[in-house]
Structure 1
Amino acid sequence: MADPLASNSAQQNRTFLVIFLLLCALYACGHLQRNVGSVLAPVLNRELGLDARELGVVMAGLFLAAGVAQIPFGILVDRYGPRRACTLLLLFGVAGSALFAFAEDWPQLLLGRLLIGMGFCGVFMSSVVIFAAWKPPSEMTTWTGRITAVGGFGGILATTPMAGAIELVGWRITLLGVAALAALLTIAGHYMLRDRPPGAPLPVQKHESFRQGFVGVLHMAADPRIRPMLVVSLFMFTPMQLTVGLWAGPYLLVVHDLDAIARGNVLLAMMGVHLLAALAFGPLERIFNTKKWIVVVGAMIQAVQFLLLAWLGQASLAASITLLMGIAIVGPLYVMVTVHSQSSFPKEMTGRAVSVVTATSVIGVFLNQSGSSFIVQALSEPGSIGSALAFRTVFGLLSAIFLFVALIYLKTQDTNAPR
């Protein structure tokens, strides 16, 4: 006779697997949108005449909207659950994807990117909240790393496949296809996502106003446990979003004269090793029993790699590619920072804690991408998308930033229990 408990457990695991794969698909769609900048930048420069500053502002706009929307989204998650909050915002992402594909100038492109950023801002946070409801705390780093790796396949699609599709049918038709995919996944999310396992107790309903919710967020941001994480999170997405997401393509074109497919292949390799590396953070935490020191050591490695890229990258294509790959491998440090923040607070505050850290992270990408675009424009010829001096300057600044990140993260408290 079959054991009913084992049968229920197997059914629950199958349900969670479907939810996990759908969240991965949604995350992949958003990840494609975030990382398409390096491939699109030369195309938009050529066809619409965007210069480095305009390209930087357009691509960074996604992160500004995502960052601003994170805090109210976290409140919505705590009040109404991740499924309803996430699928509601995804409607804006679908509209923005379509608008971007039809845009004729950089303000229209910027509006499209703002809507995309708002629409997809909640997918990662919703995933973390759903994982916290379905899985034990000891598995959080593992599942967060898995969605980063599997869902990060969208970043791979933003490299050589995107470059090939643009050459085959043009960038507008390609991005309309992305909009159609986003619409289908939004519908699937509405009907198939589940906030918690069947039979799990409902969370205590919150009846606070949005004003009270914002006050609660401000109180959390002032908590000594999270303040160093907030400073560090300004730069946690920066390595990948300033390379694959924006400048690696123009850098390889301007400094090393690679064509579109060759540039796409380098970006593809970077995304591939990045996604594989994301799977390693769960085992690393278990082996070393620390979150804090993984982030500190990783930030120091990034500082060295960016310094070497600024120093040696112009002279050698092989050195440039090797260092870009190394930067991609260490890039998933944001997985550890996110889980560290989530584990620092009670479960009922998970949505708010993750939203504060994620908001700071994506606003940091906006500041870093837009700020770097002004540096690149100032050190380049008018109308161009960069110069060797401009990219060396940006990489040198990133080296100093990640040394600062390592020093700041020393102030955090590990949440791992002593062995």
Structure 2
Amino acid sequence: MSNEPISVAAVQEAKKSFGMLFLTIFIPFGMGHFISYLYRTVNAVIYNDLATELHLPAESLGVLTGVYFLTFAAAQLPLGVMLDRYGPRSVQSPMLLIAALGSVIFALSHSEAGLLIGRGLIGLGVAGSLMSAIKACSIWLPVERLPLSTACLLSVGGLGAMASTSPLHAALHWISWREAFLILAGLTVAISAVIHFSVRGPFTPKNTRFSDMCREVGRLYRSWTFWRLGLYSVFAHATYMAILALWMGPWLHDVAGLSSSQMATALMAGTVAMVAGSLFFGWLTDYLRRYGVQPIMICGGGVAIFVLLQVLMLSGIAVSPLAITMGFSFFGTAATMNYAIVAQSVEPTLAGRVSASFNLLVFVLAFVVQWLMGAVISHWGSTDGHFPVVAYQWSLGLLIALQVPGLLLWLTFRPWKRVA
């Protein structure tokens, strides 16, 4: 697990080359994040097939979808250490093979236990997709460009979510959901090969002992600065992922009254909005920084609008389901900008560990939110496959209550103050 050492001058020259950046970051690592997001959100379209074929209640669907987040989270701390020690290429490529194995197991399973194992391995295997990309950006790019580069990578992830909506719904007319997961396994192996053979330096493996690097992770978790930067958006981020990964589809079906094809179209529009939101918030952050506007101002402002959209979902006010889905997806991307904000707060040698430490919080909470929403909805029971509106209102109300303290913390930062 090593790469050829490379000189500082060569690194600086490579940083100036857009073509090199495109080939070594945005294509291979972007493809990894693409497949990661596709796996994350695919259950929102196939949930009805899973529930019907395997007779799964809402709570089981929540756990089945959420176990992806749990294993994803469990990998984060060792992943951060490995990224800083071995580099993104040597970590990401073999991990994607684990995801491919999980996809095969998921496709061939006929029990809830088998599906859980497969889904868990998928989450474990793609756990490094975004973190590897952010680590690569921290090596190649000036620190002030991290928000924009992160936004571009997140938009590629949005394309993966887009592929899991109308395109997948259309494909399911010709193939089964099991065959779809076998195809995804093959695609994952191909992306692993692209990363392995196309990505080269600049990275020299660190000789630092694992114990020393792990101690630095512990120091991060003891830092009040880390917690303040993480907590103001982490519940919003977890809610964003959990709802888009599963519950947006049932909400459109049960509350908004959309058919399966209409639901897939609305989810497709939402993923277009996700891509647009990632690019917009990245561009806006990069543009306004020259005028002294802090990235945390843009991130927190977007999160506030995101919470207001959830209030609309809960209230029952007559608003187009398409508009709700697109607004939720667009403004929810603001929370993801905090990856770059946290990464900017440390030196590049710590970027992998601090990003992974923050990601651990996000994905543990995403699992909790995924399960919690399913548990609350299941409390009311279903009628002819539909859950009552009140079930969604209670679950959304609980999630909103968890996000409001973060917005209050954000206000204590006085984010409207400009920097020189």
* TM-score computed with the length of structure 2 as normaliser: 0.90
Partner residue, 2:164: 158
2:14 paired with 1:13: no
* C-alpha displacement of 1:58: 0.4
CA distance in 2, matches of 1:394, 1:91: 36
* Residues 385 and 371 of structure 1: CA distance in aligned 2, closer, same or farther (over 3 Å): farther
| Equivalent residue in structure 1 for 2:305, among 301, 323, 339 | 301
| Equivalent residue in structure 1 for 2:45, among 30, 39, 50 | 39
Q: Unpaired segments of 5 or more residues in structure 2?
A: 1-9
Q: Is the 8 A contact 1:160 1:268 kept in 2?
A: yes
Partner residue, 1:141: 147
* Residues 301 and 381 of structure 1: CA distance in aligned 2, closer, same or farther (over 3 Å): same
CA distance in 1, matches of 2:160, 2:267: 12
* Residues 332 and 10 of structure 1: CA distance in aligned 2, closer, same or farther (over 3 Å): closer
Provide the aligned length of Structure 1 versus Structure 2.
404
SS of 2:235's partner is: coil
Partner residue, 2:4: none
SS of 2:173's partner is: helix
* Residues 90 and 53 of structure 1: CA distance in aligned 2, closer, same or farther (over 3 Å): same
* C-alpha displacement of 1:213: 3.4
* C-alpha displacement of 1:78: 1.2
* C-alpha displacement of 1:226: 0.9
CA distance in 1, matches of 2:231, 2:384: 34
Q: Residue 18 of structure 1 aligns to which amino acid in structure 2? A: L
SS of 2:225's partner is: coil
* C-alpha displacement of 1:300: 1.9
More off after superposition, 268-277 vs 303-312? 303-312
Identical-pair percentage: 24
C-alpha distance after superposition, 1:45-72 (max 9, x if no partner):
1111111011000000000000010110
C-alpha distance after superposition, 1:220-273 (max 9, x if no partner):
012121112332453243343233211111122222332221110000001101
Partner residue, 1:283: 283
Q: Is the 8 A contact 1:87 1:190 kept in 2?
A: yes
More off after superposition, 227-236 vs 133-142? 227-236
Q: Is the 8 A contact 2:105 2:114 kept in 1?
A: yes
Q: Residue 35 of structure 1 aligns to which amino acid in structure 2? A: T
Root-mean-square deviation (CA, aligned residues, Å) is: 2.4
* Residues 418 and 230 of structure 1: CA distance in aligned 2, closer, same or farther (over 3 Å): closer
Q: Is the 8 A contact 1:70 1:358 kept in 2?
A: yes
Q: Is the 8 A contact 1:225 1:412 kept in 2?
A: no
* Residues 213 and 269 of structure 1: CA distance in aligned 2, closer, same or farther (over 3 Å): same
* Residues 9 and 247 of structure 1: CA distance in aligned 2, closer, same or farther (over 3 Å): closer
More off after superposition, 297-306 vs 348-357? 297-306
CA distance in 2, matches of 1:233, 1:213: 26
CA distance in 1, matches of 2:244, 2:347: 35
**1:104-143 correspondence runs (5 A):** 104-143=110-149
* C-alpha displacement of 1:11: 9.4
Q: Is the 8 A contact 1:52 1:373 kept in 2?
A: yes
Partner residue, 1:366: 367
Partner residue, 1:242: 242
Q: Residue 309 of structure 1 aligns to which amino acid in structure 2? A: M
CA distance in 2, matches of 1:282, 1:242: 22
Q: Residue 275 of structure 1 aligns to which amino acid in structure 2? A: V
* Residues 110 and 230 of structure 1: CA distance in aligned 2, closer, same or farther (over 3 Å): same
Q: Is the 8 A contact 1:342 1:350 kept in 2?
A: yes
Partner residue, 1:23: 29
* C-alpha displacement of 1:384: 4.5
